[in-house]
Structure 1
Amino acid sequence: MQGVVTRTEGNPTAGIVLMCVGVASLSANDALAKFLVSDYSPLQILFLRNVIALPFAILLTLKMGGAGALRSRRPAAHLVRGVLWIGATLLFFTSFIYLDLAEATALIFVAPLFITAISAAFLKERVGPRRWLAVCVGFVGVLIVIRPGASAFQPASMLPVLTAFLYALLMFSARWVDARESVWTMLLYLTGASAFLSAFIVPFVWVPVQPGDLWYFAAIALFGTAGMTMMTQAFRLAPAAIVAPMDYTAIVWATAFGWLIWAEVPDRAAFYGAGVIIASGLYVIWRERRVDLSQG
């Protein structure tokens, strides 16, 4: 689920491989964040991740887009996107304090459903009854996972859902960026804006970083940047309908990391709910692809 990207050449196999490896990298990023959040504020983790990643993002942008890609024609749009990205990341990282990694990951998969709903409500895009039905079914899956009214319900379960909503807004905010700017410029400014904006708040939550934890912060920056880069390239090499479903392999990685590191085992309801959410998201992706083909 990336922003606006430009296809360069067709190579579906490479796109699928890059997407899968990118998803695995971002899942490792999330696992590291969950490990660190017990000792550091989510805001401090976000700030250090972006500060460490920023030089690599600059080098990557120079290599892929040239010096011109370092300039933006609409920097204000990137600042707004930075606010959305900070909000989404803080909510998601905070959910790790209370939720299993797999449960938080499953709930964030409602983002495609939010994107569909927002496109109909605010952009006046036509959404057919079958896609609306898929959206409703997906939110039923959310209810299965969070179980409101049950003894197992945790208010923190709403944090990944709110994360998904902000992520959907972030995807739509790509329309505010000048169409001539490359995806590498967007990634660079998203990293830079997040580092810049969070710098004003992080002193209020800062705690000294233990020397042994520096490696974890370096790793989270590495996995986060590598994951976003590989997923971006995947969408450039193959149609979204082919690579986007690979995003759901994150639930496998989240379950594996949760079990190996924290001995977390999602209960049956969480698995059922995740299955409903994923099935609904896949159907929305498939239907949007069908609509695009019919209109193309």
Structure 2
Amino acid sequence: MQAAPSGTQGSYTGGIILMSTGVAFLSANDAVAKALTSHYSPLQILFLRNVIALPFTVLIALVMGGRPALKTYRPMAHLLRGVLWVSATMLFFTSFIYLGLAEATALIFVAPVFITVISALFLGEKVHTRRWLAVLFGFIGVLVVIRPGGATFQAASLLPVATALVYALLMLSARWVDARETVWTLLVYLTGTAALISTFIVPLVWVPVRIEDFWLFAAIAVLGTGGMTMMTQAFRLAPAVIVAPLDYTGLIWATLLGWLIWRESPDAMTVFGAAIIIASGVFTIFRQKGKAS
């Protein structure tokens, strides 16, 4: 679907900068969304975010891929991906109501573990022992963070875990998209179908938008679209094994923003569990790269 990275030092540096900046943008997007959940339903936040972002997404696709970027050969695949995207975002935004930003972010990083499990059990991919061990450690990290049965356990902790599962399905569903379509096509239709799907159900939860909140909704549209665009470009410029692990810097941003805005401070067990999850994910990325080499 895309040309391989050129392999030059300059392109690698550009990919690293774009990935790091894109992750920071998406982390800020999550922080703004969490702030908005105190007054609005996650569904209304999702709807307005995608409606505002859609024109910018189309413009970016036209600039980067031209008119062919707006053409799809499998619209139903995009519709299914839209359903998955709406579901994942709704689960994640809802978790912000009950959980700290860092805790929710740490748990969603278990997505690569789910991708491995689904690929092995349902898609027939061969997974070697070391990757299964990474999966096991990833789930151990989740248990350390949520501590089921403990005094600090919250059922809401399962929301970002469910988000990670649905997000894994979303990533794997890209295989159903026609190979002639680019990542810009995926970006346009993901935003457009999410806006369309949420249009039909948002009247059930709609409340008038306060004037002082308009800029926050504009911010999540710009931050979300900008972050996804930069991360997409990062993977075009540098190998996944270089830029993909930088996604985990999002936990640093989430911890910092959570503390600055809400004075949230993750406890030692949450930090320990997050470290296990991240180590599992990074190992999976490197093993996947080795298999593809």
Q: TM-score, normalised by structure 1?
A: 0.97
Q: Is the CA contact 1:95–1:160 (under 8 Å) kept in the aligned structure 2?
A: yes
2:30: which partner in 1? 30
Are positions 1:211 and 2:211 aligned together?
yes
Query: Which structure 2 residues correspond to residues 115-126 of structure 1 after superposition, within 5 A?
Result: 115-126=115-126
Q: Is the CA contact 1:5–1:235 (under 8 Å) kept in the aligned structure 2?
A: no
Q: Is the CA contact 1:33–1:220 (under 8 Å) kept in the aligned structure 2?
A: yes
Secondary structure of the structure 2 residue equivalent to 1:137? helix
Q: Is the CA contact 1:5–1:232 (under 8 Å) kept in the aligned structure 2?
A: no
Cα shift at 1:6: 4.1
Distance across 1 between alignment mates of 2:217 and 2:4: 33
Q: Which amino acid aligns with 1:194?
A: A
Are positions 1:142 and 2:142 aligned together?
yes
Distance across 2 between alignment mates of 1:143 and 1:9: 40
Query: Which structure 2 residues correspond to residues 88-127 of structure 1 after superposition, within 5 A?
Result: 88-127=88-127
2:269: which partner in 1? 269
Query: Which structure 2 residues correspond to residues 35-114 of structure 1 after superposition, within 5 A?
Result: 35-114=35-114
2:187: which partner in 1? 187
Cα shift at 1:149: 0.4
Secondary structure of the structure 1 residue equivalent to 2:135? helix
Cα shift at 1:7: 2.8
Q: Is the CA contact 2:248–2:278 (under 8 Å) kept in the aligned structure 1?
A: yes
Q: Which amino acid aligns with 1:9?
A: S
Q: Describe the superposition over 1:136-163 as per-residue Cα deviations: whole angstroms up to 9, x where unpaired.
A: 0110000000000001000000000000
Distance across 1 between alignment mates of 2:286 and 2:174: 22
Secondary structure of the structure 1 residue equivalent to 2:273? helix
Q: TM-score, normalised by structure 2?
A: 0.98
1:284: which partner in 2? 284
Distance across 2 between alignment mates of 1:90 and 1:160: 10
Q: Is the CA contact 1:114–1:165 (under 8 Å) kept in the aligned structure 2?
A: yes
Q: Describe the superposition over 1:209-237 as per-residue Cα deviations: whole angstroms up to 9, x where unpaired.
A: 00110000000000000000000000000
1:7: which partner in 2? 4
1:154: which partner in 2? 154
Q: Is the CA contact 1:84–1:170 (under 8 Å) kept in the aligned structure 2?
A: yes
Aligned in 2, Cα 1:78/1:278: closer, same or farther, shift over 3 Å?
same
Q: Which amino acid aligns with 2:223?
A: F
What is the alpha-carbon root mean square deviation over aligned residues? 0.8
Secondary structure of the structure 2 residue equivalent to 1:201? helix
Distance across 1 between alignment mates of 2:287 and 2:99: 32
Distance across 2 between alignment mates of 1:56 and 1:127: 39
Cα shift at 1:20: 0.3
Distance across 1 between alignment mates of 2:4 and 2:60: 18
Q: Describe the superposition over 1:32-74 as per-residue Cα deviations: whole angstroms up to 9, x where unpaired.
A: 0000001000000000000000000111111111112111111
1:20: which partner in 2? 20
Q: Is the CA contact 2:5–2:239 (under 8 Å) kept in the aligned structure 1?
A: no
Query: Which structure 2 residues correspond to residues 162-201 of structure 1 after superposition, within 5 A?
Result: 162-201=162-201
Q: Is the CA contact 2:108–2:163 (under 8 Å) kept in the aligned structure 1?
A: yes
Distance across 2 between alignment mates of 1:99 and 1:84: 22
1:226: which partner in 2? 226
Distance across 1 between alignment mates of 2:275 and 2:57: 35
1:130: which partner in 2? 130
Greater Cα shift, 60-69 or 192-201: 60-69
Distance across 2 between alignment mates of 1:144 and 1:42: 27
Secondary structure of the structure 2 residue equivalent to 1:200? helix
Distance across 2 between alignment mates of 1:79 and 1:291: 31
Q: Which amino acid aligns with 1:42?
A: P
